[in-house]
Structures are given as structure tokens and as C-alpha cells.
Amino acid sequence: MAVELERISLELGNRCDKACWFCYAGSQPAGASAWTVDAAVELARDCAAHGVRAVSFGGGEPLQWPGLFEVLAATRGRLFRSLTSNGLELEARLDELVAAAPDKVHLSIHFPEDAAEVERVIAGVAALDAAGLRAGVNLLIRRSGLEAARASAERLRAAGIGRERVVYLPMRGMDTPSAEQVASVAAAPGGRFMSMSCLSACAISPRFCAISWDRRVGWCSYTTQRSALEAPTWAALQAALRGLGLRYCGGSREQPRPRLVGLPRRSILRNHDDRSSPEDPPRPARGRGGCE
């Protein structure tokens, strides 16, 4: 029985000049990729033909992957295409990006304590807005850096980038904040904000999977439990997910183990009633299962 995916994340390469020390993809300036333009396009189109509604291109830094604009052009109109970027190459590649017309671009703030990075991302969002591209921000939150994250979130709001355009992402692997702490950064205690759906519990989401730069498939971007993608096709993706588990990516000293890992297989195949349109912002989170 097929898993009825709605969204996939495709890491096109792990080349990234920013080379954050905590990057789950192990990105570095030299970088590598097992993807060609033809393979990435074939997979995206085949998934779209089988009901996948959205693909998010990441890395690494997608703007440093040579075939990005060809892939965006070849998949235009087939499914919702977004990309997540550190924004360092945005100014130099903006005209090409506008021509390729992704449906949305998210710029990442990895170091909220770095005022220059925060201002650069704000300027990047403004440039994307002016160019007619939908834009948002991914704000990384560490348990040890809550005040800096709150200050950055407030600076974003002051610049006109409200909660509806920000995804508040908890650090994974270490220094992980609680769901309540993430909500406090979003200034939405008890309210709605956007985050990964595994905010309060590690669990498989039957709507989503992630495919790495070396063509390995996992139920989320952070897990190390993965299976090889033997071909860039929907059938091969289904085969890779069949029987695949989910390994917890780590947390904090206060909560080193998850409350939940995985779901019964029948639940993975059956629970498809929690849907949203890819044309809308990601689902506002109050902290319920899966890692998208």
C-alpha cells in the first residue's frame, strides 16, 4: 500500500559557503551532490503525477547548486516549488531567481545573536518582495540563546515580517528548546505560529519525507535512519520508505529522549485527514508530531 505523500524535501547538494558547524547535512564549501538536473526533474515530476503537491529544495545552499534554475523552470506549474537559502548569494542571483519563479523563498537566520545576519535577511526579504516573489524567514532557536532569538523575532516584526511569514525552528541534535520556549520566541504562548510538526513529539508524518544530497530517504530531514533511493522515481521512493523507521535526532539535557518515536504502520498508511494547501503558508503549529 502506497504512502500518500503530500510534500517532499529535496537536498540538491551539500555545498554551502556558510558551513554552519551544526548543519545536519554536513554542508561545506567544497560540497558534493549525487543529483543531476535530469534526475531531480524526473523525481519531482513523477511525484507530482502521483499526488505530491509541494517540493522544497534545500541543501547545502541551493543557490550554489549549478542546476537549480533549470530544475525550477522544468517543474513550473507541476507542483508548488519552494527553496530555503542562507541568502548570501541572493543579491548576485536575484534576476535568475525571479526568472525561474519559485512559488516561495525562505531565508534562514542561523545565528540570531548576529545582528548583521538578521539585517541581511530582512533586506533579502524586502528584495524578494520588491521582485514579486513570496518570501519568509526560518528562525533557528537554541535553548541557550532564547533572548537573542526573541530579540531577532521582535526585529523581524518591527521590519514588517510578522509571525505568518516566520517559521520558528528549534535546534535539533543538541541545545533543543521546549515547545513552550519556541512559543515564547514567537510571542504566541497558547496561540498559533509556524514550526516543524515534530515540535513537541518525534513522530513519522505520512504526508512528508526528505531526500538527501546523496540520494538517501528519511521520514524527516534530521534523522540518520535512511534508505537508499535506487532511482529518481515515485516507485523507488515508495520502496525506500517501505518499512523504514525513524531515529530520534536528539534533544536537550532536560529531555534527552523523545516522548514518541514513530507510529504504528497502520497509522502511517491511514491518517490522511490532516491536509493543507501548498499555496498557503505552512500549517501553524501548536506542537503535534512529525518533522517537516
Output the pLDDT for position 275: 26
Q: CA angle, corner 187, sides to 182 and 190, nearest 5?
A: 75
Output the pLDDT for position 251: 57
Output the pLDDT for position 217: 97
Question: DSSP labels for 136-166?
Answer: EEEEEE-GGGHHHHHHHHHHHHHTT--GGGE
Output the pLDDT for position 278: 40
Q: Where do the domains of the chain lie, and which CATH numbers do they carry?
A: 7-269 (3.20.20.70)
Output the pLDDT for position 283: 39
Which parts of the chain register pLDDT below 70?
A: 189, 250-292
Handedness of CA 8, 13, 14, 17 (dihedral sign): negative
Cβ atoms of 221 and 210 within 8 Å: the answer is: yes
Output the pLDDT for position 266: 33
Output the pLDDT for position 250: 66
Which runs of consecutive H residues, i.e. helices, occur in the chain? Answer: 37-49, 68-75, 90-100, 115-130, 146-158, 179-185, 234-241, 265-270
